[in-house]
Structure 1
Amino acid sequence: MEQLLEQLKGQLIVSCQAYAGESLYGSHIMTAMANAAKDGGAAAIRANSPQDVAAIKEGCGLPIIGIWKKSYADSEVYITPCRSDVELLFAAGADIVAVDATGRVRPGGETLEALIAGVKRQPGRLLMADVSTLEEGLAAAELGFDLISTTLSGYTPYSTQSKDPDFKLLEELSSSVEVPVIAEGRIRTPGQAAAALQAGAYAVVVGTVITRPHTITGEFAHALRAGASKIEEGR
């Protein structure tokens, strides 16, 4: 566990995710994306679903932070909501599993306390808490999570809403807990990634700007359409 965490210190973790209906969807494509990230210097990969975790683990070889985005009718929690989801990710080869550690109601009434207690019955398993506020991060540290990530800041209605990374939350968590704090969420430039380390991040996760080209393309296309419209208005 200590060796794995040391591998991540000060390093870039690249999130490789695609969803059904998208052009890049498929475990073989995500494995290629992970290898491209590895070639660029990524120290680890964050991947969604047991299928992608297993494929990337075999085809890339970098440490994997596994998640499983699943929707349940009785809960807003969607990042690895249940203990059964965690177990399948570890079985697929995840080195670390990240779960939604917000205070929201979980599917089937399962509690975060019960989830982590059940998972930790097997030693050597690392769990990451995806949180949206300082209070959630402090609670996660008390529960025994091995890492805490700012992933969900801005994705819960009661957390800070911003287009930029939540450096304030990162600084607060880093100075308040003893476990590594991972910066994730809306990091779009190398400068912001470096700033995250300066703010106290143990490591930095970057996803969309590296591995979701259709999203970035859409932003460029939208900006050009808006610019063209202004030109027409000025004529």
Structure 2
Amino acid sequence: MNILENLNRGLVVSCQPVDGGPMDRPDIIASMARAAVAGGASGLRIEGVENLKAVRPHVSVPIIAIVKRDLPDTAVRITPTLRDVEGLVAAGADIIAYDATDRSRPDSRTDIINAINAAGVIGMADCSTFADAQTALAEGALLIGTTLAGYTEETSDGSTEPNLDLVRAFSKLGGFIMAEGRYNTPEFARAAIEAGADCITVGSALTRLEHATSWFKQAVDGAAKHEAR
């Protein structure tokens, strides 16, 4: 299976329910993954070794795997340690995504991507800036994602829309481009491909029912308040 060819011009569904919510169980996540594939997803993004183990036997599409950790001395959360890489490799990841920002973490981003490549797995750099992507490609990542744009201290701007300008900038670098982060409508997903993305990842709009429900609830409440004036 040529993993990147299978993902090209495709949709990745991030099956990451709200942490600690009623859907945050490996068996439910596996069902989410199967449903996403049935709906046409070209790939999946799965968090956690146990969740990956639950999903892997049921799907043949590429899986982008991560581990999220809240550590005391760093803001880096996505696959911050070499031990995380080892666990994801053993559980059957096709691609491992990691935080590719220049922030400090237990194991350097260089060591992380080297370990991913040494294991024969594809590395995906979750970037926040153009500079992050340049460094990641130079260090051996094959995928560059806009995942962290707007989610770091350097890039936080309060926007609720995806950073299509960063997608356009990434398209000049030559790597495989994953548009990710706040792509919560079909129109935004289409715009990402038109801006030069090779693939698009959608998460909350599809697999975080609490979030998607709240968007509709806010709209309904807003309409009710307007009518009450």
Normalised by the length of structure 2, the TM-score is 0.95
Asked if structure 1 preserves the Cα contact closer than 8 Å seen for 2:14 and 2:207, the reply is yes
Cα distance change of structure 1 residues 118 and 34 upon mapping to structure 2, 3 Å threshold: closer
Q: Distance in 1 between matches of 2:184 and 2:50?
A: 27
Q: Distance in 2 between matches of 1:20 and 1:201?
A: 28
The residue that corresponds to 1:40 in the other structure is: 39
Gaps of 5+ in 2: none
The residue that corresponds to 1:121 in the other structure is: 118
Q: Distance in 2 between matches of 1:204 and 1:158?
A: 23
1:8 corresponds to 2:4 = no
Normalised by the length of structure 1, the TM-score is 0.92
Kindly provide the CA deviation profile for residues 202-229 of structure 1, in whole angstroms up to 9, marking residues without a partner as x.
1110111111111111122223223323
Kindly provide the CA deviation profile for residues 95-147 of structure 1, in whole angstroms up to 9, marking residues without a partner as x.
0000010011112xx2111222233333x210100001111111111111111
The residue that corresponds to 1:87 in the other structure is: 86
Task: Tell me the amino acid that sits aligned with residue 120 of structure 1.
Answer: N
Cα distance change of structure 1 residues 191 and 229 upon mapping to structure 2, 3 Å threshold: closer
Q: Distance in 1 between matches of 2:188 and 2:57?
A: 31
Q: Distance in 2 between matches of 1:61 and 1:32?
A: 14
Q: Give 1:19 shift.
A: 4.1
Task: Tell me the amino acid that sits aligned with residue 46 of structure 2.
Answer: A
Q: Give 1:24 shift.
A: 0.8
What percent of counterpart residues are identical?
A: 39
Aligned residues: 228
Asked if structure 2 preserves the Cα contact closer than 8 Å seen for 1:15 and 1:207, the reply is yes
Asked if structure 1 preserves the Cα contact closer than 8 Å seen for 2:113 and 2:139, the reply is yes
3-state SS, counterpart of residue 65 of structure 2 = strand
Q: Give 1:21 shift.
A: 2.5
The residue that corresponds to 2:162 in the other structure is: 165
1:205 corresponds to 2:204 = no
Q: Distance in 2 between matches of 1:203 and 1:101?
A: 18
1:49 corresponds to 2:48 = yes
Gaps of 5+ in 1: none
Deviates more, 1:66-75 or 1:154-163: 154-163
Asked if structure 2 preserves the Cα contact closer than 8 Å seen for 1:160 and 1:166, the reply is no
Q: Distance in 2 between matches of 1:159 and 1:29?
A: 33
The residue that corresponds to 1:141 in the other structure is: 137
Q: Distance in 2 between matches of 1:41 and 1:49?
A: 23
Q: Distance in 2 between matches of 1:95 and 1:119?
A: 10
The residue that corresponds to 1:231 in the other structure is: 227
3-state SS, counterpart of residue 120 of structure 1 = helix
Q: Distance in 2 between matches of 1:72 and 1:42?
A: 32
Q: Distance in 1 between matches of 2:160 and 2:19?
A: 26
Q: Distance in 2 between matches of 1:187 and 1:120?
A: 29
3-state SS, counterpart of residue 87 of structure 1 = helix
The residue that corresponds to 2:23 in the other structure is: 24
Deviates more, 1:210-219 or 1:93-102: 210-219
The residue that corresponds to 2:70 in the other structure is: 71
Q: Distance in 2 between matches of 1:148 and 1:20?
A: 25
Which residue, out of 153, 175, 194, partners 1:179?
175
Kindly provide the CA deviation profile for residues 179-212 of structure 1, in whole angstroms up to 9, marking residues without a partner as x.
2010001112222111111111111101111111
Task: Tell me the amino acid that sits aligned with residue 139 of structure 2.
Answer: L
Q: Distance in 2 between matches of 1:7 and 1:62?
A: 8
Q: Distance in 1 between matches of 2:225 and 2:162?
A: 30
Asked if structure 1 preserves the Cα contact closer than 8 Å seen for 2:18 and 2:210, the reply is no
Asked if structure 2 preserves the Cα contact closer than 8 Å seen for 1:57 and 1:63, the reply is no
Q: Distance in 2 between matches of 1:217 and 1:115?
A: 36
Task: Tell me the amino acid that sits aligned with residue 5 of structure 2.
Answer: E
